[in-house]
Amino acid sequence: MENEKNLSQFAIKDFNKISPTSFFKKIGSSLFPIIILMPIFGLFLSIANIITNVSDNQDQLVKVFNFLGNVLFKNLGLFFCIAIVIGFTKNKGFAVMAAVLSYLIFISFIGAFIKNNGDGTVNLWFYKNQSAKVLLDYFFAIPTMQTGVFGGLAVGVIVIVVYNKFKNITLPQGLNLFAKERFVLLIMPLVTIFLAVLFILIWPGVVLGLNLFGQWTTKLPFGIDSLIFKTIQRFLVIIQGQVIWHGPFWWTSVGGSLIDYQYQILEKFVGNGIGENPEGLFGSWLIDRNLVNEQLIAAVKFSLAEHGFESFSPQVDLWWQGTGTDFWSAQGDQIAGVFALNNSWVNVDDFWDAGLKITRFTSGGFTNSMFVLPAIALALFLNLDKSQRKANRGYYLTAILMSSLMGITEPIEFLFLYANPLLYFGFYAPFAGLQAMLTTLFEIKVGSTFSTGLMDYIINGILPTVVNQGQNTRIYLIPILGIGFGVISFVSFYFLYKKPRFKASLGTNFSEPQFFNEYSREKNLYQRLKTSVGELGSSDRGVVDGEFLKLFSVNNQIDVGFLTSQPFVESIKFLDNYFLIKIDKTQLTYGSELWIYALIFEKDKNHLKNQLEEKQAYQNFKKMMQKNKLN
């Protein structure tokens, strides 16, 4: 009997677990609104680039579209903070207000202690003469520390924790005005200041490490960095954890910082402009390599005048006007790629020549999304029985269009990820990594503002190549390589799925793995049932005669409508001070059974086996979990 009690305890505990899949999926869905906005704001930058190249008298219009594009890309920390709070607090207005308030306090508090020394270094508390390239950033002209999306996510997490902890807090009589969600707003400034202090203490070391790691990865030979990045990214699809992996490479200095290469690129621009050898030019003029932005421009103009090239100074001013602080503060492969591809004064080739292989973490996905996965889907579709083809034609067509046009790959990957994981992890994921490595080796430079589909290929590949004709993006190699990779994939999957073992795994419902749907449905039912009964009294609740569930509810907090709609509930009656729920045990599912276990477990554990056949029910549930590898 004791073992059976433990089984029931374990079953309830197990069913309440938050699986890694659901957690990462929730993060991804929280950030998705930001991701779907990126193509629009990337298009604003493209329009500014087009206007710059077709007209010499539209400076104001160029500025407008550049500013519009920067609204999102220069403030990702704020938007990520808001997005994650919305996702994890069910879009509560007070939580979102607390997020905005806290992020502004976070940025401003740190910025109050930043001292720009004017020589390419900054001071921050006991961190003296630190590189401005590494630490300094601007938030709407407020100088602050470079925390990027990490800072936004950190603030967001603190807001979520505090909000969920204190959103229902009660205060003594007379202070009710400040209770519940208002209390969260009151304490968040103090909590945020504490977080800002922690960041000042530890973040300079962290960001230095991130920069060094980013510089190290870009020096890896033969596209090894792209191979590792893409392979692991596809590995993590099984738990929907791609965003946790690719986020640092796409949105932080791990993927590269443009400011680190400002000195070299301006040196090349000036050297070519005045007819001098650019290599070592600024060094011979004794221009400090730590200088950035306005300080660097001032030093270069002074040196030009000193060496008889003062007539080139206006070109330097135009170069700075065409790039500016917002451009050079971009970091992360995705963000930096968008800025570099859509600038007329500095382009993506300049950064590759300087040693930063911009777009190496985005270019490798286009052949996979536009050619390989559609080829795999076609191979699988042709292996379906004729009767199955008609029923699943719509799903396959939609999945192919989503992958090729939008770069959304999961609908096709789910076709074989769970059914044949060895094929996915042993062949497909490494093959995706190989594609990324080859695109880096061939120096293909295509950016991404959404995902690597035809839409991105046009906006961040074809358009910048046509407008900025000096950029050698080599986008023509994408379809050439893609067709080759697609043929390999089609042939491999087509003949492999001719084999009975693989062919048998081709089901009829591919929208998501069937077992995942079943698990999610039952877990959601269990959690919804828990919330439907409100706060229960402690006396005499449990099953009566194996058919009735007797519940004492505090303040009658039971969602009768929801419970009545459940197939296993035959009727609900309110008698004296308790509810009597008649149960049809033939309609019980795993979720509803475990809900009943949880309700009556505290009252009398000895009733479990006899009343609800606990052992058999749990064993059935356990078999499902084992079968689907979810326990």
pLDDT of 194 strictly over 90: yes
**Does residue 553 share a domain with residue 535?**
no
Check residue 20 and give its pLDDT.
52
- 37 part of a folded domain: no
State residue 225's pLDDT score: 92
Say how far apart CA 436 and CA 444 lie, in whole Å. Answer: 10
End-of-domain residue from the set 196, 219, 242: 219
Which whole number is the average pLDDT over 152-178?
87
Identify whether 488 is part of a domain. yes
Let me know if residue 521 belongs to a domain.
yes
CA distance 311 to 314: 7
Beta-strand relationship, 542-544 and 548-551: antiparallel
Bridge-based pairing of strands 136-139 and 142-145 is antiparallel
The tens digit of pLDDT for each residue in 127-159 reads 888 888 778 888 877 888 888 888 999 999 999
Kindly state whether residues 538 and 553 are assigned to the same domain. no
Same domain flag for 455 and 408: yes
Q: Does residue 260 surpass a pLDDT of 70? A: yes
**Does 468 lie in the same domain as 536?**
no
The whole-number pLDDT of residue 5 equals 37
> Do 532 and 448 belong together in one domain?
no
Cα angle 468, 470, 475; round to 5 = 75
pTM for the whole structure: 0.71
Residue 268 domain-assigned?
yes
Closest CA to 148 of 332, 424, 356, 378: 332
Question: Residues 319, 322, 324, 326: is their CA dihedral positive or negative?
Answer: negative
Per the domain annotation, does 102 fall within a domain? yes
Q: Are 374 and 486 in contact (CB under 8 A)?
A: yes
Lowest mean pLDDT among 8-22, 163-177, 209-223, 471-485: 8-22
* Dihedral sign for Cα atoms in the order 143, 148, 152, 157: negative
Residue that is last in its domain, among 454, 488, 506: 506
Between CA 326 and CA 311 the distance in angstroms is 27
Q: Are 612 and 597 in contact (CB under 8 A)?
A: yes
What residues have CB less than 8 Å from 367, skipping those under 6 apart?
435, 439, 478, 481, 482, 485, 486
**Range ranked top by mean pLDDT from 56-70, 243-257, 562-576, 617-631:** 243-257
Give CA–CA dist 48/322, Å, rounded: 11
Q: Which residue has the higher pLDDT, 353 or 22?
A: 353
Band the pLDDT of 606: cuts 50, 70, 90: very low
494 band by pLDDT with thresholds 50, 70 and 90: very high
- Determine contact, residues 599/593, Cβ cutoff 8 Å: no
Cite the DSSP H helix spans in 442-476: 454-457, 463-467
Tell me, yes or no, whether 112 lies in a domain.
Answer: yes
The answer to whether residues 141 and 175 belong to one domain is: yes
Do 502 and 380 sit in the same domain of this protein?
Answer: yes
Quick one: 215 and 90 in the same domain? yes
Residues whose CB is less than 8 angstroms from the CB of residue 76 and which lie 6 or more positions away in sequence, other chains included: 34, 148, 149, 152, 251, 335
- Give the structural domain span for 534: 515-545
CA distances from 524 to 22, 28, 534 (A): 12, 19, 16
Give me the mean pLDDT over the 69-84 stretch: 88
Which pLDDT does position 625 carry in this prediction?
44
pLDDT tens string 358-413: 999 999 999 999 999 999 999 999 998 887 888 788 888 988 998 999 888 888 98
- pLDDT score of 538: 52
pLDDT at 528 over 90: no
Mean predicted confidence (pLDDT) in 598-627? 47
Instruction: Look at residues 506, 528, 557 and tell me which one is the last residue of a structural domain.
Output: 506
**The pLDDT of residue 556:** 56
Express as a percent the part of the chain with pLDDT over 90: 34
- Domain co-membership, 369 together with 499: yes
Task: Determine, yes or no, domain membership for 342.
Answer: no
Contacts of 425 (CB under 8 A, 6+ apart): 235
For residue 579, list its beta bridge partners: 551, 574
Per DSSP, the residues of 296-362 read: HHHHHHHHHHHTT-GGGHHHHHHHHHHSHHHHHT-BSHHHHHHHHHT-SSS-HHHHHHHT--TTTTT
In a domain, 12, yes or no: no
CA distance 571 to 495: 56
110, 210: one domain:
yes
What pLDDT score does 545 carry?
57
Tell whether 382 and 297 lie within a shared domain.
no
* Overall domain count for the chain: 5
Task: Give the distance between the most distant pair of CA atoms in the chain.
Answer: 102
- Are residues 475 and 432 part of one domain? yes
